[in-house]
Chain A
Amino acid sequence: MAVRVAEEWLHSCSGCEIAILNIGEPLVELLSKLEFVHIPVLMDNKYFGQLGDKEHLEIPEADVGIVSGGCANEEHKEILEEMRKKCKILIALGTCATHGGLPALINSWGTEAAFDEAFSTTTTDEGAQVPTQGVPKPLDRVYALDEIVDIDLLVPGCPPNPAHIAGAITALLEGKEVQLPTKSVCDTCPTIRKGKGDIKEVKRFTTNAAFDPEKGVEEMQCLLEQGFMCMGPVTAAGCAKRGAPSCISARVPCRGCYGPVLNKGNQMLDMMNALASNGIDFTSVVDRKNLLRFSGAHNKLR
């Protein structure tokens, strides 16, 4: 019998859903073993019945539930709680779902500030009020899903790696344990490390890295050793698709989009420690809160 799957997206950008599609042709094969009962991006199942005449929001029962995005308003919360109630296994997909992700940057101010700013920009009509009719009330801040309900599996990444999504679904279909990376980006990075150098400060990425374009990433010196702020040491591995972490393969330093290496870790504090232990002045980091760019939920950014 096909495995029933429900999918939802909350405070999200749809990148996780595109990552699901990026499984590519194997997805067509997987689809024959899955029965989607709810997935708003692809399918017309409605919350209040197909004619919109039911009183309560309802999502069909499913074996596996997948939720992307964090939780930032009353509607998100209601949907998330309904997903938890109806799904035997609930997966938090993507770094917004696991750690708040980029939208949790607003937690430094609180969600109200986002609305006040958006409705008072230069092009917005003067005197505009923040809308309140027929739109969900925001929560005070952006939450990771496990702050609201119990989550069975965390699959981080911004976007998550399609191979992990396919691997997780396949493992669940076969009743096996889901395997996800446990190392750091640095542990999986093939660049050359020469050991502690004479770097005293980290610099902004306003010049390109030094590398020979004809040669692979494995012949480029570590970007942190080149003096660039790179969050590889404090970021969970998993982004590598062709032998090197994604950003490094584009010769660009890591910014931490898979969240902390240990689920409860703090990327900002861990990075400060990593810099200090290498004799690098951590006050040379221009915008320290930015190091929690992807993991500001769980009260880390406030």
Chain B
Amino acid sequence: MGKVINIQPVTRIEGHASIAIELDDNGNVSDAKMHLMSLRGFEKFVQGRPAEEVPRIVNRICGICPWMHHLASNKAVDGCFGVTPSPTGHKLRELCQTMAHINDKILHFFFLAAPDFVIGPDSDYSVRNVMGIVKQAPELATQVVRMRQLGQMMIDKFAGKAIHPIAAVTGGFAKPMLESERQEMLRDCRTLLDFSCFALDFAKDNVFSKYMDAIQQLGVINTGFLGTVDEQGGLNIYDGKLRLMRATGEYTDFPVEEYTDYLGEHVEPWSYAKMPYAKTWDEGFSMDLDAPKGIYRANTLARLNVCDHIGTPKAQAALEEFRTSFGRYPQYTLLYHYARLIELIYACERSLELLSDTSITDTHVRNEVEPKAGRGVGMVEAPRGTLIHDYETDDNGCIVKANMIVGTTHNVAPMNMSVKQAATTLIKDGVYDEGLLNKVEMAVRAYDP
């Protein structure tokens, strides 16, 4: 008689999930599933709302990446109302998007993921956390807390709210930037760039070099990738065309308005999270580890794999080193952490670029808007993957229909596969312990769900 091991809740992630590992009579893994436990129904309850209000409703989808929902939603509403944001409004939005990526990456790497590496995957759960890091490495912890706070507060001061923002509006932005604010943010972003270079060096010395074996084994699966690139094929986290790549590196680029031709969402009876897949590959959906069908991944590793280059110097240098070490299209799941720190450097450099352009303080921040019937599709790259909001409005400019593909969900099928891969490799003949079950969770944590 087999048994089921329940890991509940999955911890140090940003949502609600549990893992069920099924063992056969011999104590070997016969199946493993990750259940996503919650659904709030944003697609339903935005119906009837005036569309210009929706960017300050859907930001509550995620308290960690509220800016991304806020901005993708504003772009969708712009589309419904047929308005193009003013050039300065556009710049201010991109700046907020880019700055918001900075905190997210510091949070995930140091607060959620690092305890597994710095304290150790097999260490006791009571110390394998950020509180443990505070005790074991107080100087590092204080520095990390200070930098994340600096990143949060520079947005909070300029835009009124860092969590659940309100400052982007259909047609542009609600307020201009003062020269004094620009100078202050330039200074803060320089500090954060120094810190992000330190963070990558720290991780190379203390994490990636020490855990090479784990990187080459834990949660490794073979999939395609999805991300956003600009016209030249460079990494872009705010705007551009979507690039859907096969595991071999062949790819198709498409504008986000056509996403329904390329992506579908599969449903399993055991998870509230839908599983997006590459409908356009015309091979259906399968999470079979040896012959997956329609499976691609999003988030940091995917974005770095699909882009041809990164347009900022320090991040580009880091990308080249990364590709020299791991190849052009690496599949190693734990490399999401490495890619996350390269994107952290990019986000700081890109914020500095945007802030260095003095025209960002121009006062024409919003174009005129007239509520009306229409359809709009908005996207940005959320930390956890490509985020798509698609709305239709009635004559009064109120929402009649909404479809949202949230960043994390692209990786729901891949996470399930990584969990199964990790569990199957690690659990043999019914032998398992707490550290080993934590390693299964580490395969999930890499995706930062």
The bracket for how many chain A residues form the interface is 35 or more
B368 in contact (CB, < 8 A): yes
Contact A52/B274 with A159-B163, A206-B370 known, Cβ cut-off 8 Å: no
A131→B267 contact, CB < 8 A = yes
B33→A250 contact, CB < 8 A = no
Q: What's the nearest-Cβ distance from chain B to residue A158, in Å? A: 6
- Using Cβ atoms and an 8 Å threshold, which residues of chain A touch B161? 246-247, 250
B60→A13 contact, CB < 8 A = yes
- Using Cβ atoms and an 8 Å threshold, which residues of chain B touch A106? 40-41, 44-45
Instruction: Select which of A72, A205, A214 is within 8 A of B52 by beta carbon.
Output: A205
B269→A44 contact, CB < 8 A = no
Chain A 23-42: CB-based contact to B (< 8 A → 1; otherwise 0): 01101100100001000111
- Using Cβ atoms and an 8 Å threshold, which residues of chain B touch A214? 178
Instruction: Select which of B6, B152, B163, B433 is within 8 A of A48 by beta carbon.
Output: B6
Q: Of the listed stretches A112-120, A164-172, A193-201, A271-279, name the one at the interface; the rest are far from the partner chain.
A: A112-120
- Using Cβ atoms and an 8 Å threshold, which residues of chain A touch B263? 123
Q: Of the listed stretches B122-130, B237-245, B339-347, name the one at the interface; the rest are far from the partner chain.
A: B122-130
CA of A296 to CA of B157, assembled, Å: 30
How many B residues, CB 8 Å from partner?
107
Q: Of the listed stretches A132-140, A146-154, A177-185, A259-267, name the one at the interface; the rest are far from the partner chain.
A: A132-140
B33→A134 contact, CB < 8 A = yes
A1 in contact (CB, < 8 A): no
A15→B52 contact, CB < 8 A = no
Question: From B177, which residue of chain A is reached at the shortest CB distance?
Answer: A213
Question: From B53, which residue of chain A is reached at the shortest CB distance?
Answer: A290
Chain A 73-109: CB-based contact to B (< 8 A → 1; otherwise 0): 1010000000000000000000000000111011011
Question: From A70, which residue of chain B is reached at the shortest CB distance?
Answer: B40
B260→A208 contact, CB < 8 A = no
B328 in contact (CB, < 8 A): no
A13→B63 contact, CB < 8 A = yes
CA of A59 to CA of B38, assembled, Å: 20
B359 in contact (CB, < 8 A): no
B266 in contact (CB, < 8 A): yes
CA of A73 to CA of B371, assembled, Å: 37
A125 in contact (CB, < 8 A): yes
- Using Cβ atoms and an 8 Å threshold, which residues of chain A touch B90? none
- Using Cβ atoms and an 8 Å threshold, which residues of chain B touch A31? 131, 134
CB-contacts of A237-272 with B (<8 A)? 241-242, 246-252, 255, 257
CA of A289 to CA of B47, assembled, Å: 12
A204→B50 contact, CB < 8 A = yes
Q: What's the nearest-Cβ distance from chain A to residue B285, in Å? A: 8
CA of A17 to CA of B111, assembled, Å: 12
A102→B269 contact, CB < 8 A = no
CA of A41 to CA of B17, assembled, Å: 11
CA of A135 to CA of B138, assembled, Å: 40
CA of A111 to CA of B6, assembled, Å: 27
B176 in contact (CB, < 8 A): yes
- Using Cβ atoms and an 8 Å threshold, which residues of chain A touch B12? 40-44
CA of A186 to CA of B282, assembled, Å: 57
Chain B 44-59: CB-based contact to A (< 8 A → 1; otherwise 0): 1100111011001100
A132→B269 contact, CB < 8 A = yes
CA of A131 to CA of B265, assembled, Å: 14
B11→A119 contact, CB < 8 A = no
Instruction: Select which of A13, A108, A121, A132 is within 8 A of B45 by beta carbon.
Output: A108
CA of A14 to CA of B17, assembled, Å: 14
Contact A129/B62 with A48-B8, A250-B167 known, Cβ cut-off 8 Å: no
A131→B60 contact, CB < 8 A = no
Instruction: Select which of B11, B368, B398 is within 8 A of A45 by beta carbon.
Output: B11
CA of A52 to CA of B63, assembled, Å: 29
Instruction: Select which of B9, B156, B269 is within 8 A of A241 by beta carbon.
Output: B156
B141 in contact (CB, < 8 A): yes
Contact A250/B125 with A206-B52, A293-B57 known, Cβ cut-off 8 Å: no
B174→A52 contact, CB < 8 A = no
Q: What's the nearest-Cβ distance from chain B to residue A166, in Å? A: 13
B164 in contact (CB, < 8 A): yes
Chain B 296-314: CB-based contact to A (< 8 A → 1; otherwise 0): 0000000000000000000
A22 in contact (CB, < 8 A): yes
- Using Cβ atoms and an 8 Å threshold, which residues of chain B touch A75? 37
CA of A197 to CA of B146, assembled, Å: 46
Q: What's the nearest-Cβ distance from chain B to residue A18, in Å? A: 5
Q: What's the nearest-Cβ distance from chain B to residue A178, in Å? A: 22
- Using Cβ atoms and an 8 Å threshold, which residues of chain B touch A128? 267, 274
CA of A71 to CA of B62, assembled, Å: 17
CA of A102 to CA of B152, assembled, Å: 23
- Using Cβ atoms and an 8 Å threshold, which residues of chain A touch B269? 129, 131-133
- Using Cβ atoms and an 8 Å threshold, which residues of chain A touch B170? 206
A109→B160 contact, CB < 8 A = no
A16 in contact (CB, < 8 A): yes
- Using Cβ atoms and an 8 Å threshold, which residues of chain A touch B126? 43
Besides the known contacts A131-B270, A213-B176, 19 further A-B residue pairs in the complex with CB atoms under 8 A apart:
A11-B40, A18-B107, A22-B162, A28-B145, A52-B7, A106-B45, A113-B41, A114-B40, A114-B45, A122-B260, A123-B403, A125-B285, A134-B270, A135-B37, A204-B371, A207-B369, A242-B157, A287-B49, A290-B53
Q: 9 closest A-B pairs (Cβ-Cβ)?
A: A114-B41, A15-B63, A250-B160, A128-B267, A105-B45, A52-B6, A24-B149, A117-B44, A44-B125
